Amino acid sequence: MPTSLHHRLRLACALALLAGTGGIGARAALPGIPSLAVHPTAVPPVIDGRLDDPAWRDAAHSLAFRQIAPLENAEPTERTEFWVTFDANHLYVAVRCHDAAGPAGLRAYSMQHDQDNGSDDLVRVVLDTFHRENDGYYFALTAAGGKHDGLIQNKAEANDTWDGLWTGRVSRDAGGWSAEFAIPLKTLSFNPANDAWGFNVARTIRRKQETDRWAGFIRNKPVTSLPDLGVIRGLRGLEQGHGVELRPFASVTRHSAPAEDEHEYELKPGLDVVWHWTPSLAATVTINTDFADAEVDERLVNLGRFDLFYPEKRSFFTQDASLFTFGGIVDEVTKPFFSRRIGLGEDGTKVDVLGGGKITGRAGPLTIGVLDTQVASHAGVPSRNLFVGRAAVQVLDESSVGLIATNGDPRAPTRNQVLGFDFNYRNSHVAGNKSLEVHAYAIGSDSVRAGGRDTDIGLSTVYSNEPLEFVTDWRRIGERFDPALGFVPRPGIYETYNYVGYTWRPVGAWFRRALVSVQPFYTLDLKGRVVGEETDLPYIELENAAGDIIAFLHAREREQFDTPFEIVPGVTVPVGDYRWNRFVIQYKTTRSRPVSADLKVRRLGLYDGDRYDYFGSLEWRASARFSTSASWQYSDIRLPGGHFPVRVSSTRFVYTHSPDLQFSLLGQYDNLSQSLGVNARIRWIVAPGDEFFLVVNQGYDAASDRLRPVENDTVLKGAWTYRF
């Protein structure tokens, strides 16, 4: 392990231990919050989806569900009940979903792993294992047996990129369907001194667009809203073993370049070691980290002047992503830490991560995330050490204050340091059941590459409720603000963003929900001159009882810039102050049917010309095992400097033999690069934590009438997990 990494890990360990290792005691149950006393089972249930085990007869039981949608806090149209029990190593949950329509009423289209696509009947289990309303977990099963899971961060935000190790099975019969969950306690972080966890169960009846919950009967709050969970009590005698987890992995890659008739083979073994030195705080060391199994990015065409945002899909970084969130900042805007900067070059090429370490978890009121990696040399940049540290301490009932720091520049061997502070106020009980958030932050960077020091300062307010919701956001980003491990699409500006929306849910109308919103967004340079505008005036969305949606938008846009830019090769947009209108109509059908579609037409001016966009997607779920989808975009762009079309299309085929064995084939094409990319992927989960991947990435040059193969990467990867 590199010396600098060793020293930083020692420092982080010391800080965490000084903060204490105990958890905050469970919050007192408020009036109206459901509570369930649970007790252990001597004989664990067999997880097969059938609720005939003796463990369920004696388990804690409830059928006190209420409807959330389409009617708030109403009696459900179908009966739902659940059972909870545990032993020293697992939490067990069973859910019975009665349905008077029998098998014909069920929607069971997807066995795919981590594909909550809105097509299936679904049950979710939500856990707040520290009972502190800050972060947690959710686990879900579709009626077809598809498994979904994720982390919950910032009180209510779901992060579905996390993959936990657990077992779940379903069964269907003439009276409905059943789901069983076995969640290993080694998969969870918790404080064994607390015997109470936040808990909820939610059911979605897809054909009715109905959602029922055991707790949190508030429509404008998601099931992942931790302050609105119920409570299960009596969780005693829980064990996490010695807290050591070994994850060896190895991949073999064949790289082929047909033009040069060259083939290269690479064997890459690696190891992750995880040590839970307390039940709530873990240290991870990674050696020769491999991302061969990560999903490919969606192909996008950039017709603007600033960088596009691509989400993180690599499991090493997504596992603890919630601990590094900062200042209430969401995706696609400036942020001090963006994990895709590690292990990827500026052009998207892979950069080997030689080794690294993480410390993640909770210590008393402190939430901590520390990541230090050593990346290999690439593109003339020598091997670099990259560090990020994030800590936040809980204050008041639901709020936090914290800091973030980064060090290192993956682009150059020069100094780049960032330090930021944030305050996040949250209140989930405004006027009874409304939510209010206020976020404030200040970040400073010191970058040799950018020419010195500068800051990013922001303040936002979020009132996300029904019928009224609003957001205000203001930020100032300095000209030389440059977080090398972050994301800054546009420095040297002020941004002001406001949103106001109002939702109606009429009774007896042909539509069951109507949303009307206005959304002014202005960008100013640091002299106060307006250089960008995007104002929705207004946006209207109507949804019927089946879940079909039609939407209309009229927006006013403006861009002003002092430097010409090339929008595509050979077409330059001159300097100017451009203003235009945008009109959009969209029709989107419910996914509860075997075939669904999403169609959109957009007409707008574009700089000193015109643009017409046509978007479409079509998906067919032939059965729980087979689905196929296609999407396309055609843009007709007419500028004085040139007239050109843009075509982007993709097609996906998915065959799921079982929830543990899946094959997918994805093809993506765009006419600007004149290239076709094909990704074939097989994932076989032998057991939770033990899995194999076969991934083939094949590129084709589509510039001529005949497809010409270009580079090919074929990867076989295996990973295993051993817990002690």
For the segment 247-280, what is each residue's pLDDT rounded down to a tens digit? 999 999 999 887 666 788 999 999 999 988 776 7
Residue 143 pLDDT greater than 90, yes or no: yes
Q: How far is CA 244 from the centre of its chain?
A: 27
Nearest residue to 77 (alpha-carbon basis) of 240, 264, 209, 215: 209
Residue predicted with more confidence, 577 or 25: 577
pLDDT 10s digits, 641-698: 899 999 999 999 999 999 899 999 999 999 999 999 999 999 999 998 899 999 999 9
Is there a contact between 133 and 214 (Cβ–Cβ < 8 Å)?
no
Q: Is residue 158 domain-shared with residue 258, that is, in the same domain?
A: no
Residue 418 pLDDT greater than 80, yes or no: yes
Residue 530 pLDDT greater than 90, yes or no: yes
Q: Is residue 154 domain-shared with residue 76, that is, in the same domain?
A: yes
pLDDT band at 234 (very low <50, low <70, confident <90, very high): very high
- With a pLDDT cut of 90, the percent of the chain lying above it is 68
Query: Tokens 């997504």 sit at which residue?
Result: 318
Is residue 656 a part of any domain in this protein?
no
Is residue 108 a part of any domain in this protein?
yes
Is residue 157 a part of any domain in this protein?
yes
Q: Indicate the residue among 179, 201, 233 that finishes a domain.
A: 233
Q: Is residue 448 domain-shared with residue 508, that is, in the same domain?
A: no
Q: Is residue 104 domain-shared with residue 246, that is, in the same domain?
A: no
Q: Is residue 74 domain-shared with residue 179, that is, in the same domain?
A: yes
Residue 300 pLDDT greater than 60, yes or no: yes
Q: Is residue 429 domain-shared with residue 556, that is, in the same domain?
A: no
Query: Looking at residue 282, what is its pLDDT?
Result: 86
Q: How far is CA 679 from the centre of its chain?
A: 22
Q: Is residue 530 domain-shared with residue 622, that is, in the same domain?
A: yes
For residue 225, give the amino acid letter.
Answer: S
What's the whole-number mean pLDDT along residues 463-474? 94
Residue 13 pLDDT greater than 90, yes or no: no
Residue predicted with more confidence, 290 or 715: 715
**Within 13 A of 479's CA, how many CA atoms are on the CB side?**
5
d(CA 177, CA 106): 8
Residue 593 pLDDT greater than 50, yes or no: yes
Query: Looking at residue 259, what is its pLDDT?
Result: 65
Query: Looking at residue 260, what is its pLDDT?
Result: 66
Is residue 625 a part of any domain in this protein?
yes
Query: Looking at residue 258, what is its pLDDT?
Result: 72
pLDDT 10s digits, 612-628: 999 999 999 999 999 99
Residue 6 pLDDT greater than 70, yes or no: no
Residue 28 pLDDT greater than 60, yes or no: no
Number of domains in the chain: 4
pLDDT 10s digits, 347-406: 777 888 999 999 998 887 888 999 999 999 988 889 999 999 999 998 988 899 999 999
Q: Is residue 438 domain-shared with residue 497, that is, in the same domain?
A: no
Q: Is residue 637 domain-shared with residue 504, that is, in the same domain?
A: yes
Residue 431 pLDDT greater than 70, yes or no: yes
- 113 exposure class (CB count in 10 Å sphere: 0-12, 13-18, 19+): middle
Tell me which DSSP letter residue 12 carries. Answer: H
Is residue 421 a part of any domain in this protein?
yes
Buried b (16+ CB within 10 A) or exposed e, 396-414: eebbbbbbbbbbbbbbeee
List, as one string, the DSSP characters of 56-107. Answer: HHTSEEE---EEEESSTTB--SS-EEEEEEE-SSEEEEEEEEE-TTGGGG--
d(CA 713, CA 113): 24
**Three-class DSSP category at 606:** strand
Query: Looking at residue 5, what is its pLDDT?
Result: 37
Q: Is residue 328 domain-shared with residue 413, that is, in the same domain?
A: yes
Is residue 306 a part of any domain in this protein?
no
Query: Looking at residue 323, what is its pLDDT?
Result: 85
CATH number of the domain to which 214 belongs: 2.60.40.1190
Q: Is residue 191 domain-shared with residue 257, that is, in the same domain?
A: no
* Domain residue limits at 120: 32-233
Is there a contact between 426 and 441 (Cβ–Cβ < 8 Å)?
no
Measured distance between the N- and C-terminal CA atoms of the chain, rounded to whole angstroms: 23
List, as one string, the DSSP characters of 362-424. Answer: EETTEEEEEEEEEEPPBTTBPPEEEEEEEEEEEETTTEEEEEEEEE--TTSSS-EEEEEEEEE
What's the whole-number mean pLDDT along residues 288-308? 82
Is residue 601 a part of any domain in this protein?
yes
* CA-CA-CA-CA dihedral for 502, 503, 504, 505, to nearest 10: -170
Strand order of the β-sheet with 60-62 is 60-62, 80-86, 90-98, 176-184, 167-173
Is residue 228 a part of any domain in this protein?
yes
Q: Is residue 470 domain-shared with residue 321, that is, in the same domain?
A: yes
What's the whole-number mean pLDDT along residues 196-221? 94
pLDDT band at 174 (very low <50, low <70, confident <90, very high): very high
d(CA 703, CA 710): 12
Buried b (16+ CB within 10 A) or exposed e, 75-99: ebebebbbbbbbbeebbbbbbbbeb
Nearest residue to 69 (alpha-carbon basis) of 466, 618, 613: 466
